[in-house]
Amino acid sequence: MFSEQTKIGINGSIKIPGDKSISHRSIIIPSIASGICEVSNILKSDDVLRTMNAFIEMGVEIKEENKKIIINGKGLDALTKPKNELYLGNSGTSARLLTGLLASQKFETVLTGDKSLSSRPMKRITKPLIEMGAKIEDQNGKLPLRIKGAILNNCKTQIDIPSAQIKSGLILAALNTEGISCIKEKHVTRNHTEIMLETFGADISTKKFGNSSEIIINGKKELTPKNIDVPSDLSSSSFFIVAALINKNSNVTLKNININPTRNGLLIALERMGANIKIFNQKNRAGEIVADINVKSSELNGCELDEKMAKLMIDEFPILSIAASQANSPSYFNGLDELRVKESDRLELINNNLNRCGCYSKIKNNDLFINPIKNKQIINSEIRTDFDHRIAMSFAVLGSKIGKLHINESNSINTSFPSFKEQFNRAGGNLT
């Protein structure tokens, strides 16, 4: 895919697809509830479809009617053994959440993935599950995983790595385990699993202690299905937000965006940088905070973010780095080690690609320094993505500002935002 400069700015009301994290959970949780659930505005991306297909393979009836997904849930302990291995493509959310869920089922399952997913660390979820009594075999700490369903013991577990995927996998295991389990996270992460389970009647509660939290689950309580309207995705919105900020004569409005306070770090960071962002029409939708966002062209300043901020917005650092490359002063982003174990080594890709585009960028001890582009020539227009959707979309946005960039493996965008090219061009972008 080629991205070229836009002449007229980024404008209009953008249709942002359903939240990716919530879409995954909108399949998983209704599938283990007892009864029928209707899901509206689900994200039909490659990753989410992997989760959906996995549950169809395990005997859950899922169909589409009138643009809604209808899920006939089987109950906590009623999934059936799939005929084949469950192939999860590039979806880390599918892999880690299903590992927790399947650890307590009555059958054996093998989880596999593509080359990228098969390189990502899985011991961070398998280790605490094995301490609960799970029987899991891995390949040097990675996929494929062979999960032999077992009766688990309730747990008291502390999670040191800030990961909603690990936390959610453990919560799903505890749901089907007798007794009370306690999961402590050292750093609060996105809480979509807890919010949705609460609406489905799970015996779950959360206590917060500053930057940490404690989740208590009383297992073996059947879930009661509720219809779900998936809010639009803040992470997907971020590409249009930054595109509008850095391109002149821009004015975009994004509607029904999930601004859950456990993942709104990008908005906080951009406001520190002087972004002209207005949040309005705020409302509570089944525990999630949803709002409309208006963004206009802005003169941005650099900023310094500590590692606490990194935990609120780890997925958004690729696009925040694009904003930083167009600011009036340098930026320092600290504590980005988790960027190295995403779909790619995002930290290296951000750094290398920014330097190709004429920006001075440097990594030191997992911290990133960015000195903005000042009328420099593009050194190399080939953008390496390593099949990472967020890297591809981020540098497509940069191309709309600085000139023609060739985004390699841009079909990776289908994992999270299949209509990105269409929506970006409709708003005034120039992707070919």
Catalytic residues: 315
Starting at the edge strand found earlier in the chain, the sheet holding 180-185 runs 156-159, 180-185, 212-218, 204-209
DSSP of 3-39, one letter per residue?
A: E---SS--EEEE-PPBPHHHHHHHHHHHHTBEEEEEE
Are 311 and 266 in contact by the 8 Å Cβ rule? The answer is: no
33: Cα separation from own chain's centroid: 24
Q: How many CA atoms lie within 13 A of 286 on its CB side?
A: 21
In the 8-state DSSP scheme, what is residue 161?
S
Pull the structure tokens for residue 374.
């000042």
Cβ burial, residue 342 (10 Å; 0-12/13-18/19+): buried
Starting at the edge strand found earlier in the chain, the sheet holding 68-74 runs 61-65, 68-74, 34-40, 228-229
Taking alpha carbons only, the member of 157, 98, 155, 154 closest to residue 122 is: 98
Give residue for tokens 């494929």: 144
Pull the structure tokens for residue 239.
């590409």
Residues 6+ away with beta carbon under 8 Å from 202: 175, 217, 221, 223
DSSP H stretches of helix in 176-286: 192-199, 234-246, 265-272
Taking alpha carbons only, the member of 278, 265, 347 closest to residue 309 is: 265
Taking alpha carbons only, the member of 118, 93, 109, 92 closest to residue 26 is: 93
